[in-house]
Amino acid sequence: MEAVIEAKNLGKTYRIYGNPYNRIFEKLPWNKGKKMHKEVNALRDVSFDVKRGECMGLIGSNGAGKSTLLKILSGTTYPTTGSYSVNGRITSLLELGAGFHQSFTGRENIFMNAAMMGFSRKQAQKKYQEIVEFSELGEFIHAPLRTYSSGMQARLGFSVAIATEPDLLIIDEILAVGDMNFRRKCVDRIWAYKKQGKSIFFCSHSLYDVRQICERAIWMNYGRAELIADSITVTNEYASHENDAANIEEQAPADKAATPQKTPPEDMPRILEGVIVDAATMQPRNVFAPGEDCAIRVHLRNGKKRERLNLAIGARRNDGTECFTHATHFDGKSIDFDEGYVTLHLDCIRLLSGKFTIVLYLFDEDGVHRFQERPASDSLIVQNRTKDLGLFLQDHHWVIEPTKP
């Protein structure tokens, strides 16, 4: 399959000077080639390709080299070593609004950016109305950009970038643009590119999003490509590495990590309530023993425009460990009602002693756009009265075979 982008042994080295004058002194003839800078290798020997129609994920901790790699692929900086080739048009959603002129109106910035992307005036005029409608700026499109809020500038930047219909779309943590309605439009447009067979290079700290959107992924670590494989394998390896490296005492407690997001607008799908109940009586109850049946009952209301939804429910320990997460779309089910209840039955709880925050996630039909994330009304408390140790009780049996009669 033809590659839209192909990189071979990419490397990027930055020179760090102690002060601005050292940059000049280093060039003077009497310096005799003495280095007055420190070299930092942001990238080292990175090789990969992105096939046409493929979605490639990019993950890694802060400072791993992700942004440097994206800037090279976008053409905003150049590699120190190695090479890369591009077959088609690339649009990057890195810093929305970069290159806009604050004194120009929104309309003038649209045409200026279109020219920078290689569009003729006639082509830009064809795209103009589509950009304005998608941005929802209305009459503000004729106002100077300096009068825009940061959210309005981000809307315009996303609308201009997405209107170019690229062969490869590079995305770097920009899905939280504007209010919830506009974020949904952004996610839907990006998801539409994937369904059309377009190539996407997706950088995110959300391992869930990478698993859902991408076929393959790259794990960057200290400037190198630690692993390139299918997205499930890469995200699992990365999560295991991060858990091993993290100091458990410094991790945020589960209650803090599951702080409810802002309540969605009334016209959007929402979680009204999540309650832990006894699986037999369906009465509220949150203290169980291992082996008992538990259920989480969630009250949902669809949006003004009814659509198919998906719900995920997870349990998180106080130290931040994600114990399990079950989702309707993982099990081939979806939710299609105006208002109702969805109940997850946990037959024969295998968790041992502990207090677990139950986190609820409400998604769209594709399981990509997250409408809401919030905890259930109570924490799940499991009290073990046996001598078993660990996080959960594994089904098991013993076989004892003496080697001598």
pLDDT tens-digit readout, 32-47? 777 777 888 999 999 9
Which residue type is seen at 198? Answer: K
Q: Which amino acid is at 214?
A: C
- Residue 35: which of 23, 44, 45, 52 has the closest Cα? 23
pLDDT band, residue 353 (cuts 50/70/90): confident
Query: Would you say 97 and 153 are in contact if contact means Cβ atoms under 8 Å apart?
Result: yes
Q: In the numeric block, which tokens belong to residue 92?
A: 């990057």
Integer Cα distance of 249 and 264 in angstroms: 33
**Spatial separation of the C-alpha atoms in residues 7 and 221, rounded to whole Å:** 17
Helix (H, G, I), strand (E, B) or coil at 221: strand
User: pLDDT digits over 39-69, tens only?
Assistant: 889 999 999 999 988 999 999 988 899 989 9
Amino acid 266: pLDDT: 75
Check pLDDT > 90 for residue 220. yes
Per-domain boundaries in the chain: 3-245, 254-382
Cross-strand bridge partners of residue 382: 288, 354
What would the mean pLDDT of 171-187 be, rounded to a whole number?
Answer: 71
Round to whole Å and give the CA distance between 329 and 241: 27
Lowest-pLDDT choice from 19-33, 206-220, 326-340, 370-384: 19-33
Give buried/exposed letters for 46-56 (b at 16+ CB in 10 A, else e): bebbbbbbbbb
Distance of CA 90 to the CA centre of its chain: 20
Joined tokens for residue 270: 């929402």
DSSP secondary-structure letter at 138? G
Single-letter residue type at 238: Y
Strand order, beta sheet including 224-230: 90-93, 168-172, 199-203, 55-59, 216-221, 224-230
Is this structure's pTM higher than 0.75? no
Distance spanning both ends of the chain, measured CA to CA: 63
- 296: nearest Cα among 353, 374, 389: 374
Is the pLDDT at 239 greater than 90? The verdict is no
Among the ranges given (88-97, 160-169, 272-281), the one the predictor scored with the smallest mean pLDDT:
88-97
Residue 73's nearest CA partner among 54, 55, 92 is 92
C-beta separation of 166 from 88 below 8 A: yes
Among 175, 351, 357, 372, CA closest to 258? 357
DSSP 56-111: EEEE--TTSSHHHHHHHHHTSS--SEEEEEE-S-EEEESSTTTT--TTSBHHHHHH
Per-residue pLDDT reduced to its tens digit, 306-331: 999 999 999 998 777 889 999 999 99
| Class (C level, CATH) for 3-245 | alpha beta
Lowest-confidence segment of 27-41, 71-85, 164-178, 255-269 by average pLDDT: 255-269
- Per-residue pLDDT at 97 exceeds 80: no
* Beta-sheet pairing, 168-172 with 90-93: parallel
What is the C-alpha to C-alpha distance for residues 153 and 294, in angstroms, rounded to an integer? 48
68's tokens: 């440097």
What would the CATH number be for the domain defined by 254-382?
A: 2.70.50.60
Cβ–Cβ contacts within 10 Å for residue 393, how many? 17
